[in-house]
Each structure stands twice: as C-alpha cells, then as structure tokens.
Structure 1
Amino acid sequence: MTEPLRIFDDVERTDSAPAYDTEDSFTFLNRVARPSWARVRELTERWFADYPASDQSDLRSRFWKPDAAQHYGAGWELYVYTLYRSLGYEVTVHPTLPDTKRKPDFLVTRDGISSYVECVVFLAAGGSGSGQRSWIFECTNKARDPNFVVNIEVRRDGSERPKAAEIIRPLEKWLSSLDPDELQRRIDTGQAPPYLKLDVRGWSIEYDAWPVRPECRGAGGRLIGAYPMVLGVGDDEVRLREIVKYKGARYGSPDKPLVIAVLNTSGFTDERDMTEALFGTEAVEYIPGQRDSIRTVRQRDGYWRQGPNNRGTRVAAVLLGQNISPWHITHALPELWLNPWADRPLIDTPPFATRTAHDTGQVYLLREATAPPSAVFGLDPEWPHFDR
C-alpha cells in the first residue's frame, strides 16, 4: 500500500532556534521543534490530506521550492481551497474553461452558483530576507549575550562576504564589556545607548546595545532587536494593478465570475493602495478662481473603470489576504473587493468584509465580516498558542 504524501519531513525535531535570516519560511517550519509550530505543521498536513490526491504532488513540490513566490503560493492555494470548503463550497481544482486551454486554480460552487478563483502572491519589495545582508543579519544573530539585544544599521554594503567570526567575536567582546543595569539607568535619563561601528571587508555596520529586562536575561534567542527599516518607493498600487490585470487577462472572457485571490506579503501595502489599484488614484479638481469649486475626485487610472469604455470587466472581484500565513489563519479572514461594473458579477459572496464603489468611484464598505476566522476553520481563537 502506497504511503500518503506528506508536506513536511516525518522526523524527530530538536532544533527550536528562531528562524535564520537566510532561511525561507518553509525550511524554518519544516525544521523548528517547538510545540506551537508542530501544531501548525499538523493542521497543514490535515488540510493537505483533504486536497485532491491527483494534484497533491505538484502542490507539495512547490512548497519545497526555495523561491518565495513558489512556497508562499502553494500555501496560499491550500488556504484558499480549504477556506472555500470550510464555507460550504464544492471546490474543483484546475477546472476546464470552454474557450481556452488555460485552467484557473479553482471552480467553487455553492447552492448551484459557481465562480472561478485564481490565486496569486504579491511579494514585498526589498526587505531583509535576501542577498548578502541576510548573511550579516544571520551572523549577528549567532552572537550570544544574556543581557542585551542590538539594533543594526548597515551604513555601507561591501562586495565580499565576511567570515562569521569577523562579526561574532568583536560583537560578543563589546557586549560583554557593558553593564546592563548601568546602561538601563543611562537610557532612563535620556542618554543615547552605546554603539559599536564595525568595519569588515568593505562593510560598515553599526550596532546599538539595549539591555534586556532583568527577568528575561539569560533566555537567549535572536540578538537583533530591530532590523533596518526598508521603505518602498510608493508604487505598490501600480504593482497590484498590474498583477490583477495580468491574471484577469489569462482566461479570455470566462463563462462564470472570475475572482483573483491576492496574498499580500507587504507590510507597507494598505487599503488605500488597493483602492487606488482597483478604482483609481485620488486627485483634487477645481476651477481657477472659484474657491468653492475644490473637490476630491477619483481618476480613471484604476484597473476597474466605468464606461463609456469599461475596463477590467472580466474580473468580478479581488479577494485580498493581508499577510495570511499558515500560523496566522485565526487572525483575520481575507477581504472581498467587488467590481460593480463586471460583465459577470459575483452573486454569491462569502461572509468576508466586502468593499465596492459607487458609479462616482467612491469606495465604501458594503458589509462587515459576519464570521471570525476561528469559527470558519473550527479553531480556538488563540491557535496555535505560541509559547510566551
């Protein structure tokens, strides 16, 4: 008898260290030994066991790919599949469409009403998870001191990767020379924390030392308390619009409403970005010399646009998941954004918070969420009960 496929390795785990900076989220989840993470793996395996056997191999292979778009995408597809089934839908994987050989991810049907769902991941631009800086961060986190955490700023990127010892040794030596109680008194009186400037192999790195609370000293864990802030260039709404536009054009004119399910992994993308991506950016309109004529209008540069030349009408809705991961599924459900000018409007709408727009382009909340995610998935609201 063939053993059923599993996503994760079936081994005894002993490594409970936090995620390394060069470690992708799937590798971490497959490696970490803590009970809360074991609960995440167990639930993911249960969901995977309910996924159609004919499609399990492909989905599993994408979980294991180091490319973030692949393993995030696999997790998002499994989540969306399970979400719709938990809401009472019959879900068909990779259904056949009448006029194209391309197949969307899902056909979802409830009470005789069907729609197609296509999943996509919106990856955060930049961040600390790639390139040579990840090595700098990982080496820093390998340094140990029971009394301090550090904030890190990379003032200059070098062209050569330092050896781990070239970062760990001077950092540990510096921290061991500091008195955490004395430092806390200095900070309490408004003085700046001490810092170390480390120049190594072309890199210029600065560390601030911050004392750990007395009751938490000696616990170990990551040394970095705060990573460098990475800001985007303000084009998230453009990237979002292009992703939805690309996915919306793949299936011609589908015979049923098409929903694009977007997993947003960017902490800088918010409701305004989605509003402007779908319905257009805001602008101020006025008649020169007439003070009372000033008003805010929505420009016609969104993906969805009302006639005379309607645009984006093949996509009935966008289902937006904000940083939903296998360990955050009880935090919030996705939000549904409805296209009021769709060729095939979405009639059967799940119990998500739902937004749409008037013909003027004014976006409004049509409905609050009618069920918490814990009730939808049958989980405790505090699941997976992370160690405190």
Structure 2
Amino acid sequence: MATQMTKAVGILAYGSLINDSGDEINPLITERIPCITPFNVEYSRKSKNRDYAPTLIPVDIGGAAVNAVILVLNDSISLEEAENMLWRRETRELDKNRKYKKKLNPGQNSVQIKILENFQTVDRVIYTSIGSNLDDNSPNILAALAIQSILSNAGNAGTDGVRYLLNAKTNGITTPFSAEYENNILEHTKTTTLEAAIHKLDSQRISELAKAAEYMFLFDKKERTLQGPADYNADIYAYYNDSARLDVGCVRDQLEIWFAKYPQNEKEELKSRVKATFNPAIFELFIFALFTELGYSLEIHPEIPGITKRPDYFAKKGNDVFYIEVKFMTMLSQNEQSLERRKNAVLDAINKVDASNFLLKLEDISFKDSSQPSGKDIIRYFNREIANYSPDDYTERLLQHGFDSMPEITYEDDKIKITTKLLPKSPLHRGTNSRSIGAHPTVTQIGNDSEDIKGSLETKATRYGNLNAPYIICLNKQSVGLDLIEVQEALYGSLQISWSDNPNNREEKMEFAGNGFFGSKNNPKFTRVSGVYITNANTANLATTAEHAFRHNPFAKYPIAFVIDQPIKELLHIPEDYPLKKLPDLNF
C-alpha cells in the first residue's frame, strides 16, 4: 500500500498572506494546499501598518473557521528559518538578521508563532496569532476604520481595509461579520460593489475633502505610551488622547462609538469644544447618544424664529417633538475654580516628591493669599525632611503606638501651609518611585445641593423665550449617586407637614412646599420648561453608579409624555465590566 508523502514545513495563510507572502517567503513556496482553519477567525484587530484598518486574527469567542491556504515551503527550510521569515513578514521587519524570539508572557501586541503538528499532510504548519485590540468590532465600526484607512496613506499603498476585505472575499473568506461589514461600506459610500467603493474613495483621497471625510474621529490615531493617572491640573482631552492605560482606552472607544453616530457636518465643531471644555461637551454627546437610542432623531442647534440663540437639540419621534437644552452643572464659583487650579498645581508638585520609601498622607492644605506657591520649594523641603526617616524604624513605631502618635511634617511659607504625615511602604515596594500622595483629607458635605440644582436650571429656563413646543433641560450633576430626594426638593420644593385646623381630624400629611423650580399650583414657575432630565453619569461610571431620572413640570405650558424607565447601562449597551475590563486602546 502506497504511503502519502508528507511535507516538512508550511505556513497557514488565512488573510493577506494568501496573496502577499512577501519577497522573502514567496520564492520558497513549492505548493499551495487549500484547507479550513482549525480555529475561528474574525475581524478583531486593527493594524498600525494599514493605518488601523481591521484585520483577521484567531479568536476564542465568535468568528468562524474560514478558507485558508497552506504555503508549503522548500524542504531545505527549517522550522526555525520559517518562523523567522514569518515573524519578519508580519512585523514588517526589513533586517533579515533579526530573528523571532518566543516570549513566555507575550503582550497584547506581540506577534506569536504557533505550530500545528501533522496538519493536512504537512509535518509542521506555523501561523501567527496576536491579541485583539478592538473592544467594539461591530460592522459599522469596522467600516469606519476601513474607510478611514483608505483615505490615509494605506490607500496610496494599496494596503487599506477596504482592499483587505475585498481580497478576503475573493479568497472565499467569510466570517459572521463579513456581509454586514461590506454592506456598511457600500451604504456609506453609496456604491454597490467594493470595487466601486475603492474607486470612489481613492478619488476622494486626492482632494483635501478626504481630511474631513465622513469618519472623523474624536481622538488621534497614534501609538500611545503615557502611563499612570492624570495630573491634577491635566488637560482632560490631552490626557484621554495620550494615555496608554487600558481603562482609558475603553472610555475612548465608547466615546468614539457615540461620536461615529454624530452628524458629519457637526463633528468638527463638537470636537473643538471637547478639546476646549471636555466634560460639558462630552455630556452633550452623551445626551445625543441617549436620545438616539430612545428612537429620536435629533436636529443640532435648531433655529428659533426671531432670536439668534439656539438650543442644543430638537428631538422628533413620530408626532412627538421637543427642544432639548444641555447643562453641565458646575458646583464651584469662579473664585473657587481659581483656588482649585492653584490647589491642583500644588498637588502635582507634591506628587513629584521622592516616594521611594514613603507615601504622604495629606492632613491639610491652607492658602494664605491668591498667589501660586513655588512647587520647587515644596518638593525640596519634603525630600529633605523625608530623608531623615528610616522606613523600618518608622514602621516599628507606627505598629507600637498607632498612627495618631506619628509626627507631622509641615511646610509653611508666606503663601501656603501644608501638613502631612508619612505612610511607610512595605519592603516589597520600596525603592520604586511612584506618585507620592497616598491619602487626601476626608471631605464631608453637610446639607444637599438642591439650591444649586435650582440655580443651574434657572440659567436655562428662559434662555429661548416662549417656544412653540415642549422644552426640556438635561442637567448633569456629578455625585457618587443620584439623590432623588435632593432632586425632588430642587424641582417641587422641600417636604413639609400640613394638617387641618379641625381638632377632631387633623389630616396630617407630607407634601411639597412649592418652593422648588417648578413652583406650586398657586404660584407656577418656569412653565415654558416641560420637564427636567438629571443624571450623574460620567465617562467612568456608566456601568456602575450612573443613574438618571426625568421629572415632569405639572404646570407646563406644553406638557410632555416623555418617560425614561431603563438604566443608562441598558440604554447605551454598556458592558458589565466597563471600564475596568482590560481593553485595548483603539488608537483613534
């Protein structure tokens, strides 16, 4: 009985490698064997070399086994040589002396070479595997990335995402996302074939209009290296744009999902405001995303006859129409904001103190005037004082006598007084520098913010005169939770007990005093406002403590039937572990 001859080494190609194996590998191919991948594949990574176009990678969840080709190499090629060549091809390494080195703990962006033994008559078949860096690889996001790549340098080089998808389709590679991914590209380019889309987008790239194409992104496409938390006085947009932290990348991805749905002709203006005033502008984007998910179409900055001012949105759904004004609530006055900036500058300076052996517990910071203290003087002082303490001796004393008995270290000059105590690091963490602030003073709030809520609403209540449709105000108040009692008091007034004069039946009952934003039946206020939406949502708490509520004005000139009864997490499809899940940075 004849035995089937086996081949020594082959390379499993399931993407661009099928048609473009590279100058080093291509001359060594002796045979091509069609097969099916023994693992699932999906468009789950964006490639820097393709201007961040989606590419196919092996996946553990989702995807599908797809058509592939084994590139059988010349028998003279060893497994090690094949691994080196495949690694150089995948990493675009031009130096042929560079070799693949297997990593024990490969990172998300590490190209790994894996081996299949005795696969399809080939002794050893190697293939590449690399981690996913797309949290959201839904077809509309894939299409956005592919279109953006063809409008970039990758389009000139022919290595863009649209051509990548076309080549995969030509090779019979189909994943669960392939059809809808293609349809999204055709829909956005108003074409009927990928070939036509490529021709149209290639033409568009030639003009300056390509720079402001339909898929403008909120954040830059770039490699990110900035680690650690933001400085206290950091520019928020700049930090989000530069940070390589995985949780910040997750937040960036979520904001890009919302921004992708924002009207093209309004994106540039919104992006400029996000850069200038991050939190208020992002809340405006949040409201757009929220009401869009509720089924409304939103006109941005609609014109109001007779006045130059414009509200943020005009919402429509069937016969329901209403105006929306967005307000991000600022709790601090101008003087308080100025003080906060000076305080943050001091905190940033303290964080540069040598923290090799100790962290600092801040007890108190008191400014003596309105000028900015010297950060360099503060750093020098604390470095000198901390050097006098042995972490072992300090720890022993702390264990014997307790924290209250430990000495304070106080910096004082004519501008500021800073009182601190030391927190010794464990021996395991000594010698490693880090931010030096380990604990802040405890802040306790007495009372609630109902008056501040009323004040913020009043600044928007009459801004646009007498409108001819319902008008709602969307307010963001930053707090750990949304205090509904506080909201009720702000809108309807403080709770009070009322009773009858009849001594035989006093009929005691709790009711609102009517001194809230909406007033009372006998003294209605701001009747042009039909209702108020309020939330504590921010970029970090969408899956955890973000709450919201809508309250109707019972005395509104134009009552509204609007109801919101789903949590933010459900309405906006926020993952359960957002943003704590270690997600990759989309590098938008």
The bucket for the TM-score relative to the shorter chain is 0.7 to 0.9
> Where does residue 71 of structure 1 map in the other structure?
278
- The TM-score normalised by the length of structure 1 is 0.80
State the superposition RMSD in angstroms.
Answer: 3.3
* Letter aligned with residue 23 of structure 1: A
State yes or no: 1:3 paired with 2:211. yes
Alpha-carbon displacement from aligned partner over 1:68-103 (angstroms, at most 9, x marks no partner): xx3221100101101111222222212234665532
> Where does residue 315 of structure 1 map in the other structure?
529
* Letter aligned with residue 579 of structure 2: P
User: What is the distance in 2 between the residues matched to 1:350 and 1:45?
Assistant: 24
Q: How does 1:12-31 map to 2 (within 5 A)?
A: 12-31=223-242
> Where does residue 358 of structure 1 map in the other structure?
none
The structure with higher relative contact order (CA 8 Å, sep 6+) is 1
State yes or no: 1:197 paired with 2:410. yes
* Letter aligned with residue 167 of structure 1: I
User: What is the distance in 2 between the residues matched to 1:129 and 1:320?
Assistant: 28
CA distance 1:282–1:51, change in 2 (3 Å): same
Contact 1:286 1:295 in 2 (8 A): yes
* Letter aligned with residue 86 of structure 1: E
User: What is the distance in 2 between the residues matched to 1:191 and 1:328?
Assistant: 33
Farther off after superposition, 114-123 or 22-31: 22-31
State yes or no: 1:376 paired with 2:571. yes
User: What is the distance in 1 between the residues matched to 2:432 and 2:548?
Assistant: 36
> Where does residue 289 of structure 2 map in the other structure?
82
> Where does residue 45 of structure 1 map in the other structure?
256
Residues paired across the two proteins, number: 362
The alpha carbon displacement at 1:382 in A equals 0.9
> Where does residue 146 of structure 1 map in the other structure?
356
> Where does residue 277 of structure 1 map in the other structure?
490
| Partner-residue secondary structure (3-state), 1:33 | coil
State yes or no: 1:114 paired with 2:321. yes
The alpha carbon displacement at 1:299 in A equals 2.6
The alpha carbon displacement at 1:180 in A equals 4.1
User: What is the distance in 2 between the residues matched to 1:148 and 1:295?
Assistant: 58
Contact 1:166 1:200 in 2 (8 A): no
The alpha carbon displacement at 1:61 in A equals 1.4
> Where does residue 469 of structure 2 map in the other structure?
256
User: What is the distance in 1 between the residues matched to 2:392 and 2:488?
Assistant: 49
* Letter aligned with residue 321 of structure 1: T
Note the residue ranges of structure 2 that are not aligned, 5 or more in a row: 1-204, 584-588
CA distance 1:184–1:335, change in 2 (3 Å): farther
Contact 1:15 1:31 in 2 (8 A): yes
User: What is the distance in 2 between the residues matched to 1:115 and 1:238?
Assistant: 26
User: What is the distance in 1 between the residues matched to 2:281 and 2:521?
Assistant: 37
Contact 1:13 1:33 in 2 (8 A): yes
Q: How does 1:236-385 map to 2 (within 5 A)?
A: 236-265=449-478, 270-283=483-496, 298-322=512-536, 324-331=537-544, 332-351=546-565, 370=566, 372-385=567-580
> Where does residue 210 of structure 1 map in the other structure?
423
Note the residue ranges of structure 1 that are not aligned, 5 or more in a row: 352-369
Q: 88, 95, 103: which one pairs with 2:310? A: 103
The alpha carbon displacement at 1:195 in A equals 1.7
| Partner-residue secondary structure (3-state), 1:10 | coil
Contact 1:122 1:266 in 2 (8 A): no
Contact 2:371 2:415 in 1 (8 A): yes
CA distance 1:298–1:378, change in 2 (3 Å): closer
Alpha-carbon displacement from aligned partner over 1:11-47 (angstroms, at most 9, x marks no partner): 3222213211221322321232212212222332232
Contact 2:524 2:555 in 1 (8 A): yes
The alpha carbon displacement at 1:281 in A equals 2.5
User: What is the distance in 1 between the residues matched to 2:480 and 2:569?
Assistant: 23
The alpha carbon displacement at 1:50 in A equals 1.7
Farther off after superposition, 215-224 or 16-25: 215-224
- Name the larger-Rg structure: 2
State yes or no: 1:161 paired with 2:161. no
User: What is the distance in 2 between the residues matched to 1:87 and 1:286?
Assistant: 43
CA distance 1:98–1:161, change in 2 (3 Å): closer
CA distance 1:215–1:385, change in 2 (3 Å): farther
The alpha carbon displacement at 1:170 in A equals 2.6
The alpha carbon displacement at 1:234 in A equals 5.7
Alpha-carbon displacement from aligned partner over 1:172-214 (angstroms, at most 9, x marks no partner): 3333443445544544553413320112353221111123456
The alpha carbon displacement at 1:138 in A equals 0.8
The alpha carbon displacement at 1:134 in A equals 2.0
Contact 2:358 2:424 in 1 (8 A): yes
The alpha carbon displacement at 1:286 in A equals 8.0
Contact 2:454 2:516 in 1 (8 A): yes
User: What is the distance in 2 between the residues matched to 1:156 and 1:348?
Assistant: 48
| Partner-residue secondary structure (3-state), 2:491 | helix
User: What is the distance in 1 between the residues matched to 2:370 and 2:306?
Assistant: 52
Contact 1:124 1:267 in 2 (8 A): no
Q: 300, 305, 309: which one pairs with 1:93? A: 300
User: What is the distance in 2 between the residues matched to 1:128 and 1:327?
Assistant: 25
User: What is the distance in 2 between the residues matched to 1:49 and 1:218?
Assistant: 45
* Letter aligned with residue 293 of structure 2: S
| Partner-residue secondary structure (3-state), 1:96 | coil
- The TM-score normalised by the length of structure 2 is 0.55
State yes or no: 1:132 paired with 2:346. no
State yes or no: 1:178 paired with 2:389. yes
| Partner-residue secondary structure (3-state), 1:61 | helix
CA distance 1:177–1:243, change in 2 (3 Å): same
Identity of matched residues, %: 25
